[in-house]
Amino acid sequence: MATSAKKENEVAVSIPLDDIERIEIYLNKPNPRTRKRKSLSAIISATGADYAINGTLYNMRNGNPVCPLRRNGVTLYHGKYLYRGYLWDNYNANSFHFDLVPNEAWENYIACSHILMDGKAIKKPIYNVAQGGKRGRTAIGTKYVNGQKRLCLYASKDRSRARKTPEQLAKLLQSYGWQDAVMLDCGGSSQVYLDHERRQVCSSRNVAHVILIYLKKGRK
C-alpha cells in the first residue's frame, strides 16, 4: 500500500540498478464502470511497486502511445524512424540501457525526446511543438556513481516555479551528473510517486501508462 508522500514541485532520484528487482511498463486502463484511470498512488497500492513515473506521449482520446513503446515482448507503437530511448528485459534491471529503438530483440523499450547523451546536453533537441515552452517535465535516464550504474528519475509540476523548457531540463540533468536522458510526456502528464522516499510530484491527470520500479527484497 502506498505510504503518505510529501507533495513537491520538483523531485529527482537515482536508484542503483543492482537494487532493482524489475522495471515494468504498466498499462493504466480505464475502469469499465467509471471509465477512470488510476492515480499513481493507487497504482503503487495495487501493484506493490516502489516507484512510479509517467511514460511517453499518448493519444488523449484512446490512450494509445504515439512514441515507441514495447511491453513484455509486445510492441504497442513502433514508429517510422529510429529514436534514442531505453531498452531492457524483464527481471534483469542491469540490462536497462540507452540505445536506438525500435529494437524487438528486447522485451521492453520506451522513447520520446532524448535530451542528454554522453553526459552532455543536446544543443538542439528534437521535440514536438506542443512539448515546447516552460512546462512540467518528466525524464528518465542513467548515471554512474563510483562506477555503479543508476537509474534516474525526474519530474516537475506543471504550472509551478519548477517548470522548464526542454533545453533548461537538459542542462539541469547534466548538472546532476546524468549520463543520458530521455524527456517523456510533459505538462499535465508530468508526475512521479516515490513510495520508498515518501515524496511525490502529483497531477490531476491519470495517464495511460506508467513506468514502475520494484526494489529487491532487503533493498527497500
> Does residue 220 sit within a domain?
no
CB 111 within 8 A of CB 84: yes
Residues 6+ apart with CB under 8 A from 61: none
Rounded distance, CA 120 to CA 137, Å?
A: 18
* Nearest CA among 197, 181, 77, 84 for reference residue 138: 181
State percent of the chain over pLDDT 90: 94
- Read off the C-alpha cell for 103: 529494437
130 pLDDT tier (thresholds 50, 70, 90): confident
Query: pLDDT averaged over the chain?
Result: 96
> Does residue 58 sit within a domain?
yes
* pLDDT (average), residues 119-129: 94
Domain total in the chain: 1
pLDDT exceeds 90 at position 150 = yes
What's the one-letter identity of residue 149? K
How far is C-alpha 76 from the geometric centre of its chain's CA atoms? 16
> Does residue 72 sit within a domain?
yes
> Does residue 111 sit within a domain?
yes
Rounded distance, CA 80 to CA 35, Å?
A: 31
Domain region containing 62: 6-215
The model's pLDDT over 4-44, given as tens digits with 9 standing for 90+, comes to 899 999 999 999 999 999 999 999 999 999 999 999 999 99
What is the CB-side half-sphere exposure of residue 152 using CA atoms within 13 A? 25
> Does residue 1 sit within a domain?
no
The model's pLDDT over 198-209, given as tens digits with 9 standing for 90+, comes to 999 999 999 999
Rounded distance, CA 174 to CA 162, Å?
A: 16
pLDDT exceeds 70 at position 3 = no
> Does residue 80 sit within a domain?
yes
> Does residue 183 sit within a domain?
yes
1 pLDDT tier (thresholds 50, 70, 90): low
* Nearest CA among 10, 22, 5 for reference residue 159: 10
pLDDT exceeds 60 at position 109 = yes
- Read off the C-alpha cell for 164: 522548464
The model's pLDDT over 36-77, given as tens digits with 9 standing for 90+, comes to 999 999 999 999 999 999 999 999 999 999 999 999 999 999
pLDDT exceeds 80 at position 170 = yes
- Read off the C-alpha cell for 66: 504515439
> Does residue 169 sit within a domain?
yes
Helices (H), 62-212: 166-175
pLDDT for the residue numbered 4: 80
